[in-house]
Amino acid sequence: EPEVTQTPSHQVTQMGQEVILRCVPISNHLYFYWYRQILGQKVEFLVSFYNNEISEKSEIFDDQFSVERPDGSNFTLKIRSTKLEDSAMYFCASSAPELPGAFFGQGTRLTVV
């Protein structure tokens, strides 16, 4: 069964450093998303991406965040200068036009120290 894969599973970084979280969406999907879940809190939408551009973003997705689809398979989330409050589980998701539900990856746990 096809699945969304995310790497790494756990990333520890120092405050102020840049991190790149990587995702490989399901191959025939066209819509890509990043969500995050701070420990003990609800899952929050960050950004959606379609046709090589951001289609929507939340208030959380400020200038320190960026997304990219550098090739035909990867979808990345970059955090330019990490803050302690960026520590969270980050989920990548993808969906197909004919299927309104999104499929989620296993998540990357980001710890900023």
Partner 1 sequence: AQSVAQPEDQVNVAEGNPLTVKCTYSVSGNPYLFWYVQYPNRGLQFLLKYITGDNLVKGSYGFEAEFNKSQTSFHLKKPSALVSDSALYFCAVRDMGGGSQGNLIFGKGTKLSVKP
Which residues make up the interface to partner 1 (CB under 8 A)?
A: 6, 31, 33, 35, 41-45, 48, 50, 55-56, 91, 93, 95, 97, 100-107
- The token duo for 44 is 């929050």
Q: Report the residue number, 34 or 112, with the smaller CB distance to partner 1.
A: 34
Compare residues 105 and 112 and give the one whose CB is closer to partner 1: 105
Shortest distance in whole angstroms from residue 73 CB to partner 1: 19
Report in angstroms how near the CB of residue 106 gets to partner 1 at its nearest.
4
Nearest Cα neighbor of 48 from 39, 38, 37, 60 is 60
Cα separation, 73 vs 4, in Å, equals 11
Q: Residues with Cβ < 8 Å from 39, sequence gap 6 or more?
A: 87, 88, 89
**Nearest distance from C-beta of residue 101 to partner 1, angstroms:** 5
